[in-house]
Chains A and B, each alone.
Chain A
Amino acid sequence: MDQFFQIQDIGAIAPELEMAIFGMILLVADLLIEQKRKLGWIALVGIGCSASFLVLQRLRDVDVSAYGGMLVVDPFSAFFKFIFLLGAALSIAISLKYLDIERENHGEYYALILFATMGMMFMASAVDLVTLYIGLETMAIATYVLVGFLRNNQRSNEASIKYFLLGAFSSGILLYGMSLLYGISGSTKFVEIAEALSRRPLTDPISLMAMITLLAGMFFKIAAVPFHQWTPDAYEGAPTSITAYMSVAVKAASFAMMVRVFMVAIYPLRPEWVPIMSVVCVLTMTLGNIAAITQSNIKRLLAYSSISHAGYILLGLIAGNETGLVAIPMYLLIYTFTNIGVWAVVVALRRKDVIGEHVDDMSGLFFKHPVSAILMLIFLLSLAGIPPTAGFIAKYFLFAAAIETGHNVLAVIAVLNAAISIYFYFRIVVAMFMREATEKTGLVYSPGVLTALGVAILFTIFIGIYPDPLITMARQAVVMAF
C-alpha cells in the first residue's frame, strides 16, 4: 500500500484545521461569554491564525500533494483561500453590530461562518471528487443555516428553506455527474478522470451525460441562468451580512471548484462544454442585468447584479487561456472588496426601526452622510467597471481574454451588458445624490462597518490605480496550477 498518510499532511491542512479548531472553541466560548460581540473577535483571531498558516505555507513555496493525492496545496488554492478568509473576516466585521440590532447575536453564527469557510478551503484544494463534495456540502449546509439565522423573521425562514431545497437538489444532480465520472474512470482523482476521458471518443454518450449533469449542478451553485431562481429570494431573506458573505465567498468557492473540475477533470471534453457555457454566459449576463433594472429592493437588485457578474466570470472559463484563467481569481478578489463595501453600507442602513432595504431608504444620503455616499458611488462605479476603479481592471482582463480567443460576439455582448448595468447602479446613485433626504434616511456606524468600508475603499482604489502586484500574484497562482 502506498503512502496514504504522512505526518506532514497535517501541515498541508493546517489552515483548514485552524478554522475547525476555532469553530469549536467558539461553540464552547458561547456558553461562557455573555457579551456575544466578543465571540466575533475570537472568530476574527481564528481567521487571522488561519491566514498566517496560509502565508507560512506559501513562504515554503512547495506544491504539496497530501493525503495520497486527495488535495493539493498550490498557489491557486492559496489565492482562493485568501479570498475566502478575507470575505469571512469582512463579513464578520460588518455583522457585529447588525446582529445586535436584529437581536440574533449568537456564538453559533460565527462558528458557522468559520466552518463554512473551512469547507470552501477544502473545495479550493481538492483534486478528488470525494474531498470536493465533502467540502462543498460543509459549505452549503453551514450557509443554509446562516441564511435562516433570523429565526423570527419569516422572510429569512422562507429564504433558508428555498435555498436548502434547491441546493440539495443541485447537489444531487452534481453527485449524479460525479458518479458517472467515477463509473467511466474507476477513480475519483481529477487527473485520472481526465486520462480516462481522453481515451474515449468526444461524442461518447456517458461522458456527455456526466458533463451535462456536472454543468447543471455547477450552474446552480454559481447561480447562472436558468438555474438562478433561488438567488434573489435567498439573498433578500438572509441577514444582510450573510448576503454579503454569500455573494463574495460562496461564489468564489463555487468558481474555484468549477475551474478545477473543468480545467482539469473534464478538460478533454472542452470542445463540448464551451458552446453550452457560452449560451449560459450570455443568458446569465443579460437576464441578470435586465431583471436588476426593475428591482426596487436593494438586496434583490444586488442579487441580480451578482448573477450577471457570474456571467462575466464565465467568460474566463470559456476563453480558457492564460489571461482568462488569471482573470477569474483576480475578478473574484476585486469583487470581494467592492461588494463588501456596498454591503457594508446596506448593513449600516438597518437601524432599530428601519428595515432599510428599499432604494428610497437611500434618498438624500449624500446630504446626511456625504462620505458614505461618495464611497458607495465609488463601489458602484467599480461594480459597473468604470476606470480608475478596480472593477475596470477585472472586467478588462475578462473581456480581453474573450477577444484573444476569438469570442468577439461574447465580448461585445458583455460590454453591452456592462453598459446596461450602469443604469441600475445609477438608480442608487441618483437616489443618494439627487433626491431630498427623508426622516428615514440615515446610517448606523459601528467600528466593524467602518473598518470594512476602509479596507474595501483602499483596495478598490489601490488596485484600480496600481494593479501590477495583484496581476503578478494571480498569474503565479494560475500558471503553476494549470
Chain B
Amino acid sequence: MIEILFFFFAALAVGAAINVLVQKHVLYSALSLIVLLSSMSGLFILLRADFLAVIQVIVYAGAIMVLFVFVIMLLNLPEDEDGADRLRWLKFLGIPLGLFFLFLTVITLWNVERQDIVEAQMAGTPELIGRSLFTDYLLPFEATSLLILIALMGAVVFAKKDL
C-alpha cells in the first residue's frame, strides 16, 4: 500500500515539476508548482514527517503560492515569447548535463547498501520538533529570527521610494 502511494505521489511530483518548466504561461507554471508542493507533502507523510507535511501545505502550497499567483495576475505578464535567443544554445548544454547528473544520482542511490536505510522510528510530531528546536538547535533557531529580520529589511530597502 505504502509503495503504491509512494509511486503515486512521486510520479505526480515529477510530472508537475516537468510541467512547471515546459508551460509557456507563468500562471500555469505556478499552478503546477502547487501540485508539486502538495505531492511533496504527501511524500513527507509517508516518511512520517507529519509536521513537515502540514507546514509544506500551509506555508508553501498555501501562503507563498497565493502570493505568487497574486503577483503574476497583478503584473499581467504577457505570454513568454521565447525571447532569450542569446541563451538558446544553453539548452543543448543544459539538457545533457542535467541528464548526466540524473544518471549519477541514480547510480549513487542504486549502490546504497540496504542496511544503511533506517526507517524513521518516530513520527515527526510538532512536539518532538519543538523540543529539539528549543534544546539542541536553540542557537540556529534564534539566529533565524535575525535572518528573517534582515530579509524583511532588505525587502523594505528595495521597495520603499524614500528611505
Binding site for B on A (CB under 8 A): 1, 4-5, 9, 13, 20, 27, 66-68, 70-71, 106, 108, 111-112, 115, 118-119, 122, 128, 130-131, 133-135, 137-138, 141-142, 144-145, 148-149, 151, 184, 205-206, 208-209
Contacts and interface: CB of A to CB of B under 8 A. Distances in A.
Given A70-B140, A128-B140, 15 more contacts: A5-B138, A27-B153, A66-B139, A67-B138, A68-B135, A68-B136, A108-B163, A115-B149, A118-B146, A119-B147, A134-B140, A141-B150, A145-B157, A206-B116, A209-B108
B1 interface: no
Contacts of B139: 9, 13, 66-67, 70-71, 131
Nearest to B135: A4
- Size class of the B contact interface (CB-based, 8 Å): 20 to 34
Contacts of A20: 146
B108 A108 contact: no
Classify the interface of chain B: helix, strand, loop or mixed. helix
A125 to B, nearest CB: 10
B131 to A, nearest CB: 9
A208 B144 CA distance: 30
Contacts of B111: 205
A1 B143 CA distance: 22
A98 B108 CA distance: 52
Contacts, number: 84
Interface in B20-56: none
B108 A115 contact: no
B140 A138 contact: no
Interface in B98-142: 104-105, 107-108, 111-112, 116, 135-140
7 contacts: A27-B153, A108-B163, A118-B146, A131-B140, A131-B143, A205-B108, A209-B104
A108 B162 CA distance: 12
B123 to A, nearest CB: 17
A208 B104 CA distance: 11
Given A71-B139, A131-B140, A205-B107, A149 B157 contact: yes
B23 to A, nearest CB: 20
Interface of B: 104-105, 107-108, 111-112, 116, 135-140, 143-144, 146-147, 149-151, 153-154, 156-158, 163
Please classify the interface of chain A as helix (H, G, I), strand (E, B), loop, or mixed, using the class held by over half of its residues: helix
A19 to B, nearest CB: 10
Given A151-B157, A206-B112, A138 B138 contact: no
Contact of B153 (A9, A111, A130, A208): A111
Nearest to B161: A151
A118 B145 CA distance: 13
Nearest to B163: A106
Shortest Cβ-Cβ A-B pairs, 3 listed? A145-B154, A205-B108, A67-B139
B147 A138 contact: yes
B154 A205 contact: no
